[in-house]
Chain A
Amino acid sequence: MSEQKKYMTLNMGPQHPATHGVLKVILELEGEVIHRAIPVIGHLHRGVEKLGESKTYIQNIVYTDRLDYTSAMINNLAYCLAVEKLMNIEVPERAKVIRVIMSELSRIAAHLIWLATHALDIGAMTLYFYCFREREKILDMWEMVSGQRLTPSYIRIGGLLADLPEGFMDKLKEFVDTFDAHVDEYDKLLSKNPIWLARTKDIGIISAEDAISWGLTGPALRGSGVKFDYRKAQPYCGYEEYEFDVPVGSKGDNYDRYLVRMEELRQSNRILKQAIKRLPEGPIKAHVPEIVFPDKDLVLKNIEALIHQFKIGCGGFTVPKGEVYASVENAKGELGFYIVSDGSSMPYRFRIKSSCFVNLSALPEIVKGSMIADVVAVIGSIDIVLGEIDR
């Protein structure tokens, strides 16, 4: 008892602008030095996994948008890949390439939010506006394809919601052509900034060994020098056919993780350039009439299509008995879906493997012994989204 008394307990969050959502961290302080940090989660718990058991496989797509809402499309993709794997559906080539385009746009959009808020947390406000300028363009593109900016639900089981609208490719090309220069701009503003270096270099270190034992994934793992990326390790959507590098850090501090993500912005753009060249003509949905919605213009003209739309939309489709796990590399790390089907039209069990949850669990270890001001820098640098942690 007497030993505990000399620490001051400080509640950081959940109403705190720099805990990236509704995260609360209970800090035990010795002066300004952190003796212990306890993350408290659950303020954003919606029961998505339980809800998933009473929604049809199609209805569940919209819940995935709301996990890591900074990069909704990758979440759609991870879920759809899991269901497609369970049902043995092969998606047409054009849909695959569009899925890669959307994934990489999501990654860029998520990393831009990370960069903007991470820099803002530490005091570099200007960058915020630069980043949101580019993110806005991505959201515009999402709006073009799906009508939604934040929660598009564009990727569907068996393909996509609809084909790319007219003018989308021009907009994408314009974005891709200018984006590398924008990353250079961010680079100039931060990478050699002495305040930035003081706040990130040698701060929040986690060794490669520790990172692996904590089960970190994504840039938080690669920052520590472990070259592991699901796009390379277990390629999906034809990622094995794209040329890109997996950047890694050396020390595992805030600055390394920063450099990794900055390089990932460039690499994502590189993948986008290849995808634009590769994009073939063809259908965007697998031809599985009992599962995939028919085209809307057919539904308005054709009774067969109307009946299928009605039956799939109202009752959902049944999925054969079995269980499946599929994961993708989202902006934060591994996002996986574990689904058990009992042969009905709703999952029997619906579990989400969230990288943010795992990465956050290493926070107490990372901030132990560092200064109180570093907590915000570390939270920003491991890049969490509470929507995915609490689910």
Chain B
Amino acid sequence: MQIVIDGKNITADHGLTILEIAKKEGIHIPTLCFMEKLLPIGSCRMCVVEVEGYENPVTACNTPAVDGMVIRTNTEKIRNMRKDILRFLLINHPLDCPICDKGGECLLQDLVYEYNVDVQPYTIKAPLKEYKEYSTPAIKYHPNRCVMCSRCIRTCREVVGRNVLDIVGNGFDARVEPVNPDRCIACGECLSACPVGALTETVSPTKGRIWQIKRVPTVCAYCGVGCSLELNVLDNKIIKVTTDVNAGMNKGVLCAKGRFGYEFVNSPERLTKPLIRKGNELVETTWDEALSFVASKLTEIKNKYGSDSIAGLASARCTNEDNYLFQKFIRAVIGTNNVDHCARL
């Protein structure tokens, strides 16, 4: 199949959309409501392109390319249409950039800057929308910042399959609301899908701008799936967990534990020294003392009651190597098969 995009002759496979072909060829078409893992709905209209012979511009994200199409992605007319779309989105947008968590990595900001939307010819009198409780306390919904792209709703439906969210109301009253809050598993997929600052996380009290934080790629230690994580680190403290769409087998998807369970890392309550119970109190001690105490007690119990009187319970939070060594220790040294780990519980 032969098509032409911006004067470039392209041979493409059948069944691909205009946007997919343009992306492969390195031709930039702006999008807002589009996400690779979701079905394209062409709702935001940012990706409009002109096709020769078509009366009206079409949305690139959900229009399949047809043999012989001649497409223009960046004409004056198209740029003006995109500008107008951005103006509509900004018409009632609060002046939140300086206090918004998303400032600096906000798709709306980027598009407004890219398209130089610097004047607002339209006005509207609409009352500010009220804050309401979201389906999980880990996330806050800012209705006035919302651009109604429905990425959160579609992610919940298509990726997670929980169907918690939907748009409630219409026109200027429209807002995203958890219509089935009981089904929410607090995975935060909606949070990661939001292109603007309409959904923000409330777990870490510390916030940092994108250019202040360091993103450290790592693997989640919560369970055996081993999702790829990016720890957002500010001043050597984890303040947020994100994940790269292109990394690992989780492809940008995380669960509640992986996304929100990071506060323990910097908790002052973590044990850093071994404790031994003396009388009714746990007393800090050295590793040497603790290990020899455990070794002598285990030997004593094994000699007195036999190997099967001992069981080992490992932590799923340890590395595979650690857990392998632990079961080896229980089986070979202690001599019992009574070994398990907490993820099975």
Say whether A and B bind each other: yes
- Measured CB to CB, the residues of A under 8 A from B are 289-290, 294, 300-308, 310-311, 314-315
> What residues on A are CB-neighbors of B94 within 8 Å?
303
B119 at the interface (CB under 8 A from A): yes
> What residues on A are CB-neighbors of B68 within 8 Å?
none
Interface size class of B (residues with CB under 8 A): 20 to 34
CB proximity of A305 to chain B, nearest CB, Å: 7
B109 at the interface (CB under 8 A from A): yes
> What residues on B are CB-neighbors of A289 within 8 Å?
116, 118
Contact: A314 with B209, CB < 8 Å? yes
B78 at the interface (CB under 8 A from A): no
Contact: B120 with A307, CB < 8 Å? no
Given A311-B110, A315-B211, 6 extra CB contacts under 8 A = A289-B116, A303-B94, A304-B117, A306-B97, A307-B108, A315-B104
> What residues on B are CB-neighbors of A294 within 8 Å?
118
| One of B90, B104, B108, B117 near A314 (C-beta < 8 A) | B104
For the complex, would chain A's binding face be called helix, strand, loop or mixed by DSSP majority? helix
| One of B118, B209, B211 near A304 (C-beta < 8 A) | B118
B342 at the interface (CB under 8 A from A): no
What are 20 of the A-B contact pairs (CB < 8 Å)? A289-B118, A290-B113, A294-B118, A303-B90, A303-B95, A303-B97, A306-B95, A307-B90, A307-B97, A307-B113, A308-B112, A308-B113, A308-B118, A310-B97, A310-B98, A310-B104, A311-B109, A311-B110, A315-B104, A315-B211
Q: Give Cα A332 to B119, complex, Å.
A: 43
> What residues on A are CB-neighbors of B209 within 8 Å?
314
> What residues on B are CB-neighbors of A310 within 8 Å?
97-98, 103-104, 109
Q: Give Cα A154 to B5, complex, Å.
A: 46
> What residues on B are CB-neighbors of A290 within 8 Å?
113, 116
B93 at the interface (CB under 8 A from A): yes
CB proximity of A349 to chain B, nearest CB, Å: 23
Q: Give Cα A294 to B118, complex, Å.
A: 9
Contact: A302 with B109, CB < 8 Å? no
> What residues on B are CB-neighbors of A304 within 8 Å?
90, 112, 117-120
Contact: A303 with B93, CB < 8 Å? yes
Q: Give Cα A345 to B119, complex, Å.
A: 24
Within 8 A of A (CB), among B101-132: 103-104, 108-110, 112-113, 116-120
Q: Give Cα A147 to B173, complex, Å.
A: 45
